[in-house]
Chains A and B, each alone.
Chain A
């Protein structure tokens, strides 16, 4: 935990400091605190360009990591994740349609439309599955509808009369923090208040769900209702960050697995919060790579999350480096 906290602080500081121009730690702290003797341009860069981006990245990573942990335990499948609840696909479809057909949605209206579309598709999938209690059924319906909506996105892209918009759509589809400003943060941040109570309340339930439906029923947990509530919670956690940053891939999948393997526990009460922090660190590190690695070109952060996250998880999965693999 301590290591992780230090890592998080370090990544935040580096994200604020590095770039064009690269600032010293003192300059960053000075700019943040608004002390005199810091150039206005530096203050502007740190406060208005880099800080919102860092906060957005941390929010996105945290929400995705936590919801990945929730979904994997809720549906009892190590591959489950918020991609399967339709939020990302719905938001992508909204953005693709708006950009491709040049519908008049200026500035901040775009993430709001994405948020609305994400919530609508999430609710749609939830209403299609919540009647049934079988987790496999939920997974497959989610996967099917997500594939359906993604197919619509592809159709929209290929038919787009406005080909110049394709790169904007593509960037959103892969996930990018480059457009995150204070307005976007103001849109997404209030929702994240939901996270701590979720972690507190859901942990015990998730642990019971993992034991299997019969045991959970025997312990007095209403399995169907719990699963539906957790599913809905995931929709609420993920929709706002997807709306501002796009569906940053892979974070929700790897963060919980990394935590389970590092801490050698599957206890949801531990996995959820630590996965949130891990997700935030991963996104910020990936965003740093996105900004700096191929400077001055910027490659969308969603690619770097996969390129950075995959080796980390693969290494952790090799037995002998971190001891015996816990049951996932």
Chain B
């Protein structure tokens, strides 16, 4: 093959993968918007699309519509999308930098740290007569602090003179994660009461989330955007291994610390409002990788979209699913005893994930 022909082949391949990327993003975005619309439409009261638009525009036919759409469903769906995107893109960074397919916020202890912070805040405030509004900001703040502290702890424990190598980081992360979740279980067992609301926090739930929670999450997400933009090219180089990174003129340790910080901020922010949703942060990036490959410039965007889609879909199911649909079981459930969304992310995602893995291999 001549040089020119080889160059042409390479360019065609690049163009094809570029096209694939654009199509993937477009399709994912359309799916996400459609799902969000569906999310707002469905519920105890069904709305036609035009009613939703009217309510959003502030001209509802009934005041009740306004409340259902703008005060209940809209913040919740926005939060699901944002948190799903943050968790999943955090997982993309972690998998690339730690070079382990099992890496995820919940593998390296960020999630567990945030959950411990939240549960600590919940347990400490149960006795006191604090207003619910205070709790709505106090718990996310405690969770955020816990997540950041756990990230710092893992990095600090892995650090040696030469730096923190990926293997030691992930192993330390798993160990710290186990210790933190054991500590959380201790708190739950010793506190005794209110186990139900705590379990919802452990598993992840979006029920009773309001604009207040979103007001906490959005600044974190905005803060994370420049971090993400800076971390993408750096993470791409780190994926190749430390030696290549150094050869390409990168200070590997500083770069790794930067990318990890980005991942920690994203994950801690998301967990601080939605709780310890497992598996999403691991699955999202893998699904995105089957679409667009390992280049972080594309992977992070796609991971975010996939994560948002999964969490919105899962929460839609969590909100609407009811055991009464299975009359044969004849199980009486108390009203309001809904399955938390954390159970559905895996139910929605895992079969699809396994199918994709098998199809690709």
Contacts and interface: CB of A to CB of B under 8 A. Distances in A.
B75 interface: no
A154 B344 CA distance: 9
A304 B179 CA distance: 9
A149 to B, nearest CB: 9
Contact of B351 (A148, A158, A304): A148
Given A101-B331, A159-B339, A78 B354 contact: no
A137 B359 CA distance: 11
A147 interface: yes
B210 interface: no
Instruction: Identify the interface centre among A79, A136, A302, A311: most chain B CB within 10 Å of its CB.
Output: A79
A24 B199 CA distance: 42
A94 B77 CA distance: 34
B216 interface: no
A152 B286 CA distance: 22
A132 B176 CA distance: 32
B92 to A, nearest CB: 15
A182 B228 CA distance: 57
Interface residues of A, number: 49
A314 B351 contact: no
Interface string B197-216: 00110010000000000000
Chain B, interface SS category: helix
Interface in A287-328: 299-300, 302-304, 306-307, 309-311, 313-314, 317, 319, 325, 328
A33 interface: no
Contact of A137 (B199, B345, B357): B357
B361 A150 contact: no
A59 to B, nearest CB: 22
Contacts, number: 137
Given A132-B361, A250-B178, A313-B175, A78 B170 contact: yes
Contact of B100 (A79, A159, A299): A79
A77 B100 contact: yes
A254 interface: yes
Contact of B167 (A139, A147, A174, A328): A328
Contact of A144 (B185, B195, B353): B353
B183 interface: yes
A314 B175 contact: yes
A307 B357 contact: no
B167 A78 contact: yes
Contacts of B338: 158
A295 to B, nearest CB: 14
- Interface-centre pick from A159, A325, A328 (highest chain B CB count, 10 A): A159
29 contacts: A78-B170, A78-B171, A79-B100, A79-B102, A79-B171, A128-B354, A132-B361, A136-B101, A137-B357, A140-B102, A140-B353, A141-B357, A147-B350, A148-B346, A151-B342, A151-B350, A152-B347, A154-B342, A155-B343, A158-B200, A159-B331, A161-B332, A250-B178, A299-B186, A307-B182, A314-B176, A317-B171, A317-B172, A325-B168
Shortest beta-carbon contacts, A-B, top 8: A151-B346, A306-B182, A148-B350, A310-B179, A147-B346, A154-B343, A147-B279, A306-B178
Interface of B: 100-102, 107, 157, 160, 167-168, 170-172, 174-176, 178-179, 181-183, 185-186, 189, 195, 199-200, 203, 278-279, 282-283, 286, 323, 331-333, 337-340, 342-347, 349-351, 353-354, 357-358, 361
